Amino acid sequence: MRQAAPPLTRQEMLGDKIQRLIHDMRETMRDAGVGLAAPQIGLSLQLAVIEDREESLKDLPPRELADKDRRPPPFHVIINPQIASTGDDEASFYEGRLSLAGFSAVVGRTRRESRSVEASGWYARILQHEIDHLHGTLYLDRMHTRTFTSIDNWNRFWKGKPIGKPSSR
C-alpha cells in the first residue's frame, strides 16, 4: 500500500487477466464502497474501479448530498491516471473505511479535477482517493490529524453533520 504501483501497458490492459480482475474488483467494490484500487487487494497495478450507485444515495439527507456535491458517476475503470487540479477550491469531509478498517478522518481535497475526465464534487474526491492508492498514499497522509476517529465514534458523533474548516492538520 505504501509503494507507487507501476503503470500497465496497453497489452496488459486488454489481456484476459486484467479484464477478469476488473470484473472481480467491481463485485468486491460494490460490497465495500465507491472505489477500489488494485493495491488495496495486494496487486501493485495502476488500476482502480469507481462507481457511486444511485441506490447508495437514497437514504442520505438532501442537505448532505448538496454539501458534498454528490452525484453518482457510473461504473468505470481508471488505469495509469494522473491528477491535474483545476483550482484551489478545497472541501473537507471524512474519508476512510477500506484503507484502515474501522477508522476515519477529515481530508481536504480540491473540488475539481480535469484531464481526460472532468470531475467535481464527491466524484473528484473519489478519484483523488483512489489515485492516491495507486501512488502509495493513504488518506492518513492527507488527513487533518485532530479528526482521526473510529468508525463507531464517527457514527455516534459526526455522521450526517457538516464539516467545518479544520484549523490544522
Per-residue model confidence (pLDDT) at position 114: 57
Per-residue confidence (pLDDT) for residue 36, from 0 to 100: 95
Q: How high is the pLDDT of residue 97?
A: 63
What residues are annotated to the active site? 130
- Domain assignment present for residue 90? The answer is yes
Q: To the nearest 10°, report the CA torsion of 68, 71, 74, 75.
A: 10
CA atoms of 17 and 35, how far apart (whole Å): 20
* Residue 157 DSSP class: I
Q: What is the pTM of this model?
A: 0.78
What's the confidence (pLDDT) of residue 34? 93
User: Does the residue 106 lie in any domain?
Assistant: yes
Residue 35 counted as domain residue: yes
Domain assignment of residue 5, yes or no: no
Eight-class DSSP state of 69? T
2-47 pLDDT tens trace: 888 999 999 999 999 999 999 999 999 998 889 999 999 999 999 9
Is residue 106 within 8 A of residue 91, CB to CB? The reply is no
Look at the chain and report how many structural domains it folds into: 1
Contact 26, 49 (CB under 8 A): yes
Q: Would you say residue 169 lies in a domain?
A: no
Q: What is the CATH number of the domain that holds 81?
A: 3.90.45.10
Q: Answer whether residue 3 is part of any domain.
A: no
**Which residues have a Cβ under 8 Å from the Cβ of 154 and sit 6 or more positions away?**
94, 104
pLDDT digits (tens, 9 = 90+) for 58-117: 988 898 899 889 999 999 999 999 876 666 778 888 887 666 778 888 888 887 765 577
Provide the residue range defining the domain that includes 108: 10-158
Residue 163 lies in a domain: no
Q: Is residue 38 one of the residues assigned to a domain?
A: yes
Does the pLDDT at position 167 exceed 70?
Answer: no
